[in-house]
Structure 1
Amino acid sequence: MEEDGGARLEAEDIEEVIELGDNSSGDLNGVGGDLDELDIEEGAQVDEADVQDNADVIFSKHTDAVFCVRVDPATCARAVTGGQDNRAMVWDVSSANTLFECTGHTDSVTSVGFSHDGVYLATADMSGLIKVWEVSSWKEVWAFHCSDIEWLEWHPMAHVLLVGTSDGDTWMWKIPSGDCKTFQGHGSTVGCGRFLPDGKRACTGHADGTVKVWDLRTTTCLHSVTGHDGHTADVVAMDCHHDNTIVVTGSADSTAKLTNTETGKVLATFQCGKPASLETDCVETVGFSQTQPLVATGSLSGSLCVWDVPTQVLRHTCPHEAGIVKLRWDSATSMIYTASLDRVLRLWDARTGNIVSQWTGHQGEILDFDIARDGGVLVSTSEDQTARVFSLHELDR
């Protein structure tokens, strides 16, 4: 898959393409093959009393479970966390000193994020309240209240915010003006969504298994994948390939699917969980490698699967002691980071299926993590009411 360089937009062209304002409302030829599974030695789960804390810094200002975290992409020096204590806080990753508290939330803060350039910070809670803050002054510059928010994402090149809601609608705002467009849903919760790398389209996944591709300029639904080829249960995870033409979705129906965003055709279906005769196994997290033609899926049964995209063959299965809540590919190598409900963060080599490193210290289930853009630190959050910072400088990549 070659990257379509002409499809990407310069930052100054984004506003013209999206035109925010008031409004009313390549195929893969899979050949199959034998599964190449490689088990690793178990033993990652240890007694709580024996847990070694590898964290360099611990942020402990939350008073309940910490649901989400994002590292500022501009500075890589600060993080924002949101928790069940109705609080969102910005803090220094080297010292754990609190820099700012995002006040005004009255319900659990479940989504946070910095804009691509670190100019703005968005926080959202379960009641449907979204707030945006200007980072340089820590002033609130915009707020909005909608139905229950499932997720938020910033545009990769512009100050544009995308939000999915439980009532099935997707909202897009220009920040800080608040100019708005809505993508009318069909009543099914929007469980996940992403801007495509071209900056001109977005993709959403819904609770009834539907996957939709949207045009940002017109708010038109370009493709709606449903029925026989679509998922049969909640779509909970999504990632877009950097060439703009393929999206991978993970679902509670135990499968992940590759879909062509240009044609709406499902290119491949990966059986990631348990056999159909047994209980279903939610595919909780998915991601494309940026350096190899590989895609990874992580399930609540604890299976990290690495798939070859051109042939659709399973390369490796990497077992965990408990469910995988999130995976992230290293941006420059064939390594995959995973966070598991067994309280362990791991790094895997996708070429061999072997574990490279692991980090412990959390006393509760890990709920989220983020990696600084410069690759220097990993920041994780947990039910243990803390966020932990782990240095990645010693890794041999």
Structure 2
Amino acid sequence: MDPDPEQDRDSEEVVEIIEIDDTEPLSDDEEVVGDDGLSADINEMDLENELQYNSDEFEDEVTYRDDSTFVYKKHADSVFTARIDNNTCDLVITGGQDDTAYVWSASSGETKFQCDGHKDSVTSVGFSHDGVYAASADLGGLIKVWKVDTGKEVWSFECSDIEWLQWHQMAHVLIVGTQDGTTWMWKIPSGDCKTFKGHGLSAGSGCLMPDGKRVCVGYEDGSVKIWDMKTASCLQNVNGKDIHSSSVVCIDCHPDNNLILTGSTDATAKVIHSSTGKVVTTFNCAEENSEDENSVESCAFSYTQSSLAATGTLTGKLSIWDVPTQTNRNTCQHTGGVVKLKWDTTSPLVYTACLDGVVRMWDARNGKCCLEWSGHQDAVLDFDISRDGKTLVTASEDNTARVFSLHKPDS
């Protein structure tokens, strides 16, 4: 979960809490089609001229709606991930299947620098809380940290295959979960390290709690652990029949630090009390009488409506849940799988990115789709929203990242 922009914690206290002992181990729409599938002009042509409009050529004539203000085209393959710097609300870092990450400007489109030297697809990126550093990590386990103002590499480390990466909300501390079940924490740029040892199964998802002192990690077997960042001790180990039956693929923490929300490939979401480790409730996100593959790909608590949570599934269902009553308040259906959702930080609105290439905004109070942003020719794999709420950046399988203004798209 992105840090609450209104958090007001003592930065020095947070740094003290997680002090690391370095002795520890390491486009307007165009309609050209008539009733019979050809334009009126084409129908009037003789047969010889009509045959030149085969299906492939006709497809080229279609103009797709593109609501983006800028298209970033430097990547040579699918773009997997994107993050916007909270400090400038303009700098973007994207990583892709071309084994490269780029830092660039959302407003001008200018590439600031290239994060090269990776050995595999770059699947995790992020800026430090103050925008001083940017991190890029690839599937092979290589992590690099870059000084943003100079574009120079200042630190690197190689470990097991990386599942997720997150910067601390108030300090130059980087946290990474890996496929061998270990969660790593480093001070940057010194590299002082602590590790949170798992139990041999992939640490597939993780989230720093808003208090800045604990980290929640979800594992391949469906279990969840809450770690103390100062002592590297496990505060809660949630497993057994009440927890997920398969991998935890997404996790979020409530702004008040008391609840954790997890989503799994078993098509359920769990609400867990962070202090006791008790499962408060289970949200069933499965489709009735459906044999389609399903999982909860994204989940989050609302910033502004403390009782609400949202889940998004591979079958395209966004569900708005009322946590105190444990009921489904609204269901919003998509035409493709939901890969990520984010709540607006100032209103009860939810943004979703979908495999159909569209980003949508929903009103959680009535389940209505308010706006859509189109432009991608393939699945959207990730997106981020600037801290000032004005810019949305997407990453897609169509080899591009796109910038959208968070205003009503042109109709």
Question: Same fold per TM (> 0.5)?
Answer: yes
- What is the one-letter code of the residue matched to 1:125? D
Aligned to 1:14: 14
Aligned to 2:351: 337
Q: Is the 1:376–1:391 Cα contact (8 Å) retained in structure 2?
A: yes
Deviation digits for residues 117-157 of structure 1 (CA, Å, limit 9, x no counterpart) = 11110000111000111112222111000010001000111
Aligned to 1:361: 375
Deviation digits for residues 349-380 of structure 1 (CA, Å, limit 9, x no counterpart) = 00010000001110011100000000111000
Aligned to 2:397: 383
Shift of 1:106: 1.8
- 1:306 and 1:342 map into 2 onto residues whose CA distance is 21
Aligned to 2:42: none
- 1:155 and 1:48 map into 2 onto residues whose CA distance is 48
Deviation digits for residues 35-75 of structure 1 (CA, Å, limit 9, x no counterpart) = xxxxxxxxxxxx99353011100000101000000001100
Aligned to 1:211: 224
User: Does residue 202 of structure 2 align to residue 182 of structure 1?
Assistant: no
Match of 1:281, SS state, is: coil
Q: Is the 2:285–2:296 Cα contact (8 Å) retained in structure 1?
A: yes
Q: Is the 1:325–1:341 Cα contact (8 Å) retained in structure 2?
A: yes
- What is the one-letter code of the residue matched to 1:193? G
Match of 1:352, SS state, is: coil
Shift of 1:385: 0.3
Shift of 1:164: 0.3
Match of 1:14, SS state, is: helix
Number of residue-to-residue matches in the alignment: 369
- 1:271 and 1:310 map into 2 onto residues whose CA distance is 16
Match of 1:273, SS state, is: coil
Between structure 1 and structure 2, the one with the greater Rg is 2
Q: Is the 1:132–1:141 Cα contact (8 Å) retained in structure 2?
A: yes
Match of 1:77 among 70, 90, 115: 90
Q: Is the 2:298–2:340 Cα contact (8 Å) retained in structure 1?
A: yes
User: Does residue 264 of structure 2 align to residue 263 of structure 1?
Assistant: no
The farther-off stretch of 296-305 and 265-274 is: 265-274
- 2:408 and 2:377 map into 1 onto residues whose CA distance is 24
Superposed CA RMSD = 1.8
Equivalence map 1:172-321=2 (5 Å): 172-275=185-288, 278=291, 281-292=294-305, 293-321=307-335
The farther-off stretch of 268-277 and 53-62 is: 268-277
The farther-off stretch of 8-17 and 212-221 is: 8-17
- 1:345 and 1:193 map into 2 onto residues whose CA distance is 24
Higher RCO (CA-CA < 8 Å; seq separation 6+): 1
Q: Is the 2:371–2:408 Cα contact (8 Å) retained in structure 1?
A: no
Match of 1:131 among 144, 153, 159: 144
- What is the one-letter code of the residue matched to 1:348? W
Q: Is the 1:336–1:348 Cα contact (8 Å) retained in structure 2?
A: yes
TM-score w.r.t. the length of structure 1 is: 0.90
1:330 and 1:277, CA in 2 relative to 1: closer, same or farther beyond 3 A? closer
Give unmatched runs, 5+ long, in structure 2.
1-6, 27-59
Match of 1:227, SS state, is: coil
- 2:255 and 2:289 map into 1 onto residues whose CA distance is 32
Shift of 1:19: 1.8
- What is the one-letter code of the residue matched to 1:249? T
Equivalence map 1:141-160=2 (5 Å): 141-160=154-173
Shift of 1:224: 0.9
Shift of 1:212: 0.5
The farther-off stretch of 259-268 and 9-18 is: 9-18
Structure 1 segments, 4+ long, off by >6 Å, are none
Q: Is the 2:112–2:151 Cα contact (8 Å) retained in structure 1?
A: no
Match of 2:204, SS state, is: strand
- What is the one-letter code of the residue matched to 1:131? K
Match of 1:314, SS state, is: strand
Aligned to 2:44: none
- 1:364 and 1:165 map into 2 onto residues whose CA distance is 28
Deviation digits for residues 292-332 of structure 1 (CA, Å, limit 9, x no counterpart) = 12000000000000000111110000000010000000000
- 1:48 and 1:392 map into 2 onto residues whose CA distance is 29
Match of 1:290, SS state, is: coil
Equivalence map 1:18-29=2 (5 Å): 18-21=18-21, 22-24=23-25
1:9 and 1:373, CA in 2 relative to 1: closer, same or farther beyond 3 A? closer
- 2:25 and 2:132 map into 1 onto residues whose CA distance is 29
- 2:77 and 2:67 map into 1 onto residues whose CA distance is 22
Equivalence map 1:87-106=2 (5 Å): 87-106=100-119
- 1:212 and 1:319 map into 2 onto residues whose CA distance is 32
Shift of 1:97: 1.5
Aligned to 1:38: none
Give unmatched runs, 5+ long, in structure 1.
1-6, 26-46
